[in-house]
Amino acid sequence: DAGVIQSPRHEVTEMGQEVTLRCKPISGHNSLFWYRQTMMRGLELLIYFNNNVPIDDSGMPEDRFSAKMPNASFSTLKIQPSEPRDSAVYFCASSLTDRGYTFGSGTRLTVV
């Protein structure tokens, strides 16, 4: 089992550029979650999907953020345009219903 795979591991971009983060969940897991982690706010849920359908996107900070899950094995989180305050570590996690999450290793995003 390869676990949850995120790419890239690190991303440095200039303010105003589009950023796309990618996630491959564990095969057979039916839920996928995007979290953001900062020192000030800790781990915050941005959005989650169940069976590829977005269930709760109330944590998405603003319209600059969007997420898709076109199939059970792939999801993206896009920020357009990016801003310095978006700098954080973004985690993807997957789970089977009512079980604990398995997190990926995260993408460290720096917007300069």
- According to CB under 8 A, which one of 12, 15, 43, 112 is a site residue for another protein? 43
Residues 51 to 70: which contact another protein by CB under 8 A? 55-56
* 42 belongs to the binding site for another protein (CB under 8 A): yes
Contact between 74 and 23 under an 8 Å Cβ cutoff? The reply is yes
**Residues in touch with another protein (CB under 8 A):** 4, 31, 33, 42-43, 45, 48, 50, 55-56, 91, 93, 95, 97-106
